[in-house]
Amino acid sequence: MSNRQNTTDVILIGAGIMSATLGTLLKELTPDWKIKVFEKLSNAGEESSNEWNNAGTGHAALCELNYTVEKSDGSLDISKAIKVNEQFQLSRQFWSYLVNNNLINNPEEFIMPLPHMSYVRGEENVKFLKKRHDALSNNPLFKGMEYSEDPETLKEWLPLMMKGRNVKEPIAATKIDSGTDVNFGALTRMLFDHLKGNNVEIHYQHNVTTIKRTSDGLWELKIKNLNSGAVEVHKAKFVFIGAGGGSLHLLQKSGIPEGKHIGGFPVSGLFMVCKNPEVVEQHHAKVYGKASVGAPPMSVPHLDTRYIDNKKSLLFGPFAGFSPKFLKTGSNLDLITSVKPYNVFTMLAAGAKEMSLTKYLIQQLMLSKEQRMEELRDFVPEAKSEDWDMVVAGQRVQVIKDTEAGGKGTLQFGTEVVTGASGSIAALLGASPGASTAVHVMLEILNRCFPQQMKEWEPKVKEMIPSYGVSLVENPELLQEIHTSTAQALGLVTEQPVEEESVDVVEPEATAEEDSLIVDTGDTENDETLGVDREVPNVDANLVVEEDPKKED
Ligand SMILES: Cc1cc2nc3c(=O)[nH]c(=O)nc-3n(C[C@H](O)[C@H](O)[C@H](O)COP(=O)(O)OP(=O)(O)OC[C@H]3O[C@@H](n4cnc5c(N)ncnc54)[C@H](O)[C@@H]3O)c2cc1C
């Protein structure tokens, strides 16, 4: 692509993990292209990609029960789990390439090894977990997954969760040590630092307000400089709308037919964070349970060890909620202004279909801190209110569209890539599996928008991502090779566990009540090896001090 005055090759809207990934891929594939980034906030990775706004799970389907679905004949469909795992392997390879080539450094600042566990209780759920383990553990992608129903083993794996727990009812867990905690905020900032040092113009405090196609086939963007108040006009041959929750409005402004009949439904999130080092030290894992009945899949409860700013903390949640904003820093008018004549019937159909979801979200929003603590106690029976604070997480805008399977106004829980027929514009909507699969999603955009160039770029893509175009599940040797080399590059070689603390488990006594699900945490680890101190996490301005849920967001 050549350059003309005032015209650039590529404009990336938004400085989240998605634009960061696309910009970095393009810089490697075609270093001469001119790239500009416009971000309305004053720094990169401040919205959903921020470390306090998402759960930081390197989603590889190692513990997320919703990726393995029980079919009507009782067998398990593991295809989604395989897909998500393969997609995460692409991210691991690309990040390793960046580290190996000194394009980014200190991988421990954005990725840490952490066992991923699933934990359930109640007979039916235990049967399901056993079946899941049987279906996955022989698959090379899930090698090393262990299963146990034995309370003694569970005490070792999940000391904090087993303390004070009634173990009379059936409980079970799986554990796999190759999981990760990813600080997507730190990674986003690293990638933008790298881009800035490589001639990418990054404009913070610049709000993109309109996008339109001009007669010469370029895209013209009007952008408000929030510092000076001036409106700037920039043109590009290719535009990526990576504005997170802001993408839908911008897609609508572009006027491309592919963006019509799509709506968005915002789901807000809230985590509880533990500040007490004595508690934090007793948990070392991401432990996922099952979503409660009526809850959307993104509300699966989990108890996670997090590494943020070299500090270890525990996060529990997310609690879903409803807010009409599409971004955490968005406007209360976001939802209403996204309803247009061309998507109003889709939105109305979704509204009628999803009454129970709306009800669920409103109920969640109304929970008091003590009610949330009760949910947490399903995981940590002895959790004390004073050890846990609430933090507001990012907004997720779920896509609503008409589908053959679901009919008009069907809520989608995945990630949607929308590209214009000309291949000169692409947008990313939706949020799951999210940041973990950013590399896969951005490769998809490159394939859709630059099919010719991708043929030329393929050798470079394969240099960065050796398994590109190859199924790892069908090539276990390559998988092993990649797993070992990426673990080495990213510092994910599992450390030796240290002795666990002994744990008091309250023997049966009472009630085999509800069969709600529980998720817990695993074994302890040598903190020195991890370079982690034991200070209280520096919970930032997101910290919610009020107990009134209406004031939380
Ligand atoms: C509660 C929660 C938990 C999650 N947990 C996980 C997890 O465990 N693992 C995982 O992989 N993913 C997770 N995700 C999903 C993940 O966070 C997102 O998929 C990912 O961060 C999206 O990145 P993005 O770059 O598209 O958007 P963002 O990070 O939101 O970036 C978009 C940027 O665009 C800017 N912008 C918006 N409008 C404009 C405009 N008009 N002009 C200029 N700039 C604009 C915004 O300010 C923002 O900086 C979670 C998300 C949430 C909300």
Q: For 154-168, 247-261, 303-317, 508-522, which range has the lowest pLDDT when averaged over its residues?
A: 508-522
pLDDT at 300 over 70: yes
Check residue 551 and give its pLDDT.
Answer: 30
Question: Ligand 1: which residue has its CA nearest to atom 53?
Answer: 394
Give the mean model confidence (pLDDT) for residues 151-169. Answer: 93
pLDDT at 531 over 50: no
Binned at pLDDT 50, 70 and 90, residue 57 comes out as: very high
CA 219 to chain centre: 30
Rounded-to-integer distance, Cα 446 and Cα 156, Å: 46
The residue whose CB lies within 8 Å of the most ligand 1 atoms, and thus the one to mutate among 21, 22, 42, 47, is 47
Question: Ligand 1: which residue has its CA nearest to atom 52?
Answer: 54
* Tens digit of each residue's pLDDT (9 = 90 or more) over 265-292: 888 889 999 989 999 999 999 999 987 7
Rounded-to-integer distance, Cα 384 and Cα 371, Å: 12
Ligand 1: residues with CB < 6 A are 13-19, 38-41, 46-49, 53-57, 59, 184, 207-208, 242-244, 246, 250, 269, 318, 327, 393-394, 396, 428, 431, 433-436
CB atoms within 10 A of CB 44: 27
Check residue 304 and give its pLDDT.
Answer: 98
Q: Give the chain's end-to-end CA distance (angstroms, integer).
A: 44
Nearest CA among 300, 325, 304 for reference residue 395: 325
Rounded-to-integer distance, Cα 11 and Cα 28, Å: 16
CA of 14 to the centre of ligand 1 (A): 9
Give the mean model confidence (pLDDT) for residues 477-488. Answer: 96
Reduce the DSSP state of residue 138 to 3 states and report it.
Answer: coil
Range among 218-222, 418-422, 532-536 rated most confident = 218-222
CA of 502 to the centre of ligand 1 (A): 40
CA of 392 to the centre of ligand 1 (A): 14
Question: Ligand 1: which residue has its CA nearest to atom 35?
Answer: 14
Give the mean model confidence (pLDDT) for residues 112-139. Answer: 96
Give the mean model confidence (pLDDT) for residues 76-91. Answer: 96
Reduce the DSSP state of residue 5 to 3 states and report it.
Answer: coil
Check residue 93 and give its pLDDT.
Answer: 98
Binned at pLDDT 50, 70 and 90, residue 398 comes out as: confident
Q: Is the pLDDT higher at 266 or at 175?
A: 175
Measured from the Cα of 430, ligand 1's closest atom is 19
CA of 438 to the centre of ligand 1 (A): 11
Percentage of the chain lying above the pLDDT 90 cut: 69
pLDDT at 43 over 60: yes
Q: For 128-142, 223-237, 239-253, 485-499, which range has the lowest pLDDT when averaged over its residues?
A: 485-499
Binned at pLDDT 50, 70 and 90, residue 548 comes out as: very low
CA of 244 to the centre of ligand 1 (A): 5
Q: Are 539 and 275 in contact (CB under 8 A)?
A: yes
CA of 16 to the centre of ligand 1 (A): 6
The 3-state DSSP composition of the chain as helix, strand, coil percent (nearest 5) reads 35, 25, 40
Check residue 546 and give its pLDDT.
Answer: 34
The residue whose CB lies within 8 Å of the most ligand 1 atoms, and thus the one to mutate among 11, 24, 54, 391, is 54
Contacts of 298 (CB under 8 A, 6+ apart): 267, 269, 318, 320, 396, 398, 413, 431, 432
CA of 454 to the centre of ligand 1 (A): 26
Rounded-to-integer distance, Cα 254 and Cα 264, Å: 16
CA of 158 to the centre of ligand 1 (A): 31
Percentage of the chain lying above the pLDDT 70 cut: 87
Q: Could you write out the three-class secondary structure of 349-379?
A: HHHHHCHHHHHHHHHHHCCCHHHHHHHHHCC
Residue with tokens 């679905």: 69
Rounded-to-integer distance, Cα 152 and Cα 51, Å: 34
Token digits of residue 545: 């001090």
Nearest CA among 323, 223, 343 for reference residue 269: 323
Q: Is the pLDDT higher at 185 or at 549?
A: 185
In single-letter form, the type of residue at position 235 comes to K
Question: What is the average pLDDT value for the chain, to the nearest integer?
Answer: 86
Check residue 225 and give its pLDDT.
Answer: 97
CB atoms within 10 A of CB 14: 29
pTM: 0.88
Residues 411/354/49/334 CA torsion (nearest 10 deg): 100
pLDDT at 315 over 70: yes
Q: Is the pLDDT higher at 14 or at 66?
A: 14
Binned at pLDDT 50, 70 and 90, residue 310 comes out as: confident
Question: Ligand 1: which residue has its CA nearest to atom 9?
Answer: 57
CA of 50 to the centre of ligand 1 (A): 8
Question: Ligand 1: which residue has its CA nearest to atom 25?
Answer: 16
Check residue 552 and give its pLDDT.
Answer: 25
Give the mean model confidence (pLDDT) for residues 492-500. Answer: 56
CA of 412 to the centre of ligand 1 (A): 17
The residue whose CB lies within 8 Å of the most ligand 1 atoms, and thus the one to mutate among 12, 36, 49, 180, is 49
